Each structure stands twice: as C-alpha cells, then as structure tokens.
Amino acid sequence: MKNSDQFSTPINRRHFLSTCGKMSALPVLSSLLSMRMLNAAVANNTAIGDDYKALVCVFLYGGNDSFNMMVPWTHAYHLNYLEARQHLALPKELLAPIRSNSSENMAHFGLHNALTDVAAAYRAGDIALMSNVGTLRQPTTLTDVANGNALPKGLYSHREQQLSWQTSVPENESAKGWVGRMSELINDTDSSSTDVSLNFSLNSASRLQTGQLTNPFQINDKGANILDVYGNRLDMKAAYDATLDYQYESVIKQHYAHKSKEIIDKNEFYNESIAKVGDPFAADAFPNTSLGKQLKRVALTIYAKNELGAKRQSFFVSQGGFDHHSELLLNQDALLPQLNDALIAFNNAMKSIGLHDAVTTYTASDFGRTISGNSSGTDHAWGGNQIVMGGAVNGNKVYGEYPSDLRPGFMDVDTGRGRFIPTTSVDELHAELACWYGVGLNDLPTVLPNINNFNYSPMGLMKL
C-alpha cells in the first residue's frame, strides 16, 4: 500500500485555495482563519528541512496539583509554603532538590519525592520546568478578573480548560487544536512530505491535533485495532471486505463503504509498518502501567518513522485521576510515580534509538489547584507548573515566574485561596514548541491566534 493512501487528508496550498473557492458561500472557515492560512500559504514563512521531529503531549486529566509537584526549597520560601498549605504541605525530607538555574549553587525548589528520577533528569539537563503557566486570552490582572475582562471561557471548568489547553483559543470552545493547525501549516509548506498522518492520538481522538481538514489517527497501546471495524469478528473479514468493495448506486452507501475500507487500509498499513521494523526496546524498558504502555507505543511509532514516511509527528497520551478534592497526598503518592517512571523510560528509549534531540515531550493539565486546601484535598484553580523533556530542551532551568509567596492574599496574581493568574500563557509555551517544530515566527499567529496579545519573544526554552 502506498503512503499516499494513508491516514488523514493533509492540507496543501493548491487544495486549500481550491477548496476555499468552492466553499466561499459556506460558513466552513472563519474569514479570519481563512485569511491567516492564505497569508501563510503565500508568504511561506515556514519551511521544514530534512530532519525529523516529534512532539509528545502528556495530558494529566483532572487538574494536577502542581504546587505539590514543584515546591519552594529555600528556608524562608519553604516556611511560607508550609504556612500556606498546612496539612497538605510536604516537608523537605520528602523533596528532591533542584536549582532554578544551572549557574546557581543553591537549590531553589524541590520536586515531589515520587519524581526523584525526573529531578535527576532535570539536573542532567534533559528537563526544564514551566512555572505558573495557564490559559489566557491576554495579560490579565486582578482588576480584569473582578470586571470579567477577556477571561478564558469556562474558567475553573474541567472540560473548557482541557479544550483551552489543547486549542490555545480559550474564548472559543469549538476551536480546532493548535497542533492540528500547526500540522496543516507544516504539511502545506513541505512539498516533499507524504500523506501519512502527522498526528497520533492514543485511546481517543484529541482536540489538540484536530485541524480544519485533518483528524488524528487513533491507536491504542497495542496498535491500530482492525477488529473494531469488523465488530471483533475477524472470521467475517472476507464477507465484510466484499461488502465494502461492492459498487453501490446510493452515494451515501458508496461513501460509507469507501471510508470504512480506507480506515481498514490505514490500520493495516500502520500495523504492518510497526511489525516491519520490530521492537528495539528491552521487555522491561517501560513500566506496565497505562501511561507506560502508551509511551511505549509512541516510541515504537517513532522508531517506524521511515516506514510511515514522516518527518514530523505529534502524539497525544494521557493519565487520568488528578482531580483531588480529597486525599491529595495519598493520590499523588500513587499517581506521580507512574508519571515519573513512564517519562524516564521514554526519555531513555529516545536516547537508545538516537532520537533524543528530535523528540520533545511536555505535560499539560486542566488547571492548577488552590494553595489553601479543604479537609484533605484542593480545588480548581488556574496557573500551574509543567514539565518539558527532551534533548532539544534547554534544561536544568525553571522558566516563567513561580509565585514568590504562596500564602493566599500575598501576591497580586492571587484571585483567592491561591488561585494564581498565570504569568505565562499556554500560547507562550506552545510558541516555544512550535518554533522548535519548524513554524516560522511570522506564521505563529496562524497556529496561535492570540500570540500577539502577549508581545511574545522567544524565552530560550528550546534549542533552535
């Protein structure tokens, strides 16, 4: 089967212009997005080379309490943290110390003791931390919050904030994903790219990778499930294939048969590609957890990049269970070791196949949590801390502005109970990743429509 038959329909300049002409009377694309994509197609500010790159999003569903993931270490700072968190605070002996900058000798922060290997990778330069990052439409103050000025839609809501992280358009819950927009831009300007899908979503479709004309290719930790198409009856394959090959007079029936056959062909091609290159990883290279299995599948797909014909890929994996309104300490003790082990296994796997510099992994979550707790947990908040990992990361450094005093009411970004207004927007984080992936600075507004609201300039997170 040829690559041109694969996965999703990419957007290219000729197809885009032709489609816009045919659909000019239909409300398919907003005029703003259409103009931005047209300008990008004409200006061609983005052009990728012959190198390979992959972006991996690890979404922590539920809203990770990342102020217990990344904790102040210095004496006075930690005392303020203890006062703010009280019965939910972690003592220093339960923290793995890190410095906020490689040129400084004093440890400024400590990571949760379940993230000891992540802390070691941070100190080795493989990991950076993003502090107090969250969804914003524009730089926002307490006055803006009080007046309801330009706030993200559904602030503190799981669904809306999950979508805002994945779309970078927090004013519009129906927006497409920022990686989907980026992939269509990349594929448009890369004349040598194949039609193989750039985007793989584990276990379910992600909004992150959904574009105007593309959708992520869905797989699970075992690969592409062909049996789903056959209703889990492989013995019916011949009869079902004959039904799909039949030429129907009904346009609807013919289209359904064509799309069903296309899905089967894509799944078979993917599985054959993975099988052809084999599994280069040791049997115990990845932990036997949901996230570990997902990241092993990502690693296998990356290893098969040449068979799949891809120079750019993205992956969406997830870990659930982070909505800790109760039993925060017990739940993080159970979940964070899984995150630690899976991330480090994946980092080591990329080194073992020589692609450490080509793959960047980052965490995302609905939102941060309140600094002040309830009986045994914390509630929905806003800004939080995230992990960025890979050989192309300028690691051993904290980016953004960690609140200088976590005690509720002591910071001018505290909307109450330690619900911190983000001091770094998800757009700025995504811009760092997009530029590394191959998007030109002039094309960033196509991928991140609100980026110009933040007077963005590269912060040096990535080695470009």
Report the alpha-carbon distance of residue 242 to residue 253 in Å, rounded: 14
User: What pLDDT sits at residue 229?
Assistant: 56
pLDDT at residue 259, as a whole number: 62
Global confidence as pTM: 0.87
Residue 127's DSSP bridge partners are: 389
In angstroms, what CA-CA distances link 7 with 291, 392, 458?
24, 28, 33
> Mean pLDDT in runs of 10 for the chain (464 residues)?
37 39 34 39 56 97 98 95 97 95 80 98 98 98 97 97 98 97 81 60 93 92 74 60 70 64 80 96 98 98 94 97 98 98 98 98 98 96 98 97 94 96 98 97 97 97 95
Rounded Cα distance, 339 and 283, in Å: 19
| Rounded-to-integer distance, Cα 443 and Cα 141, Å | 28
- Going by C-alpha positions, the residue among 8, 355, 55, 305 that lies closest to residue 184 is 8
pLDDT of residue 248: 73
Distance CA 54, CA 315 (A): 8
Question: Residue 414 phi/psi, 5° resolution?
Answer: -90, 115
Write out the H or E segment, with its range, that includes residue 89.
none
Q: Say if domain 54-224+281-454 classifies as CATH 3.40.720.
A: yes
Residues composing the chain: 464
Domain range summary for the chain, segments of one domain joined by +? 54-224+281-454
Distance (Å, rounded) from C-alpha 299 to C-alpha 89?
36
| CA distance linking residue 410 with residue 412, whole number of Å | 7
CB 339: neighbour CB atoms within 10 A?
Answer: 25
Residue 206 to residue 216: CA distance in whole angstroms: 7
> Phi/psi zone of residue 445: left (φ > 0), alpha (ψ -120 to 50 degrees), beta?
alpha
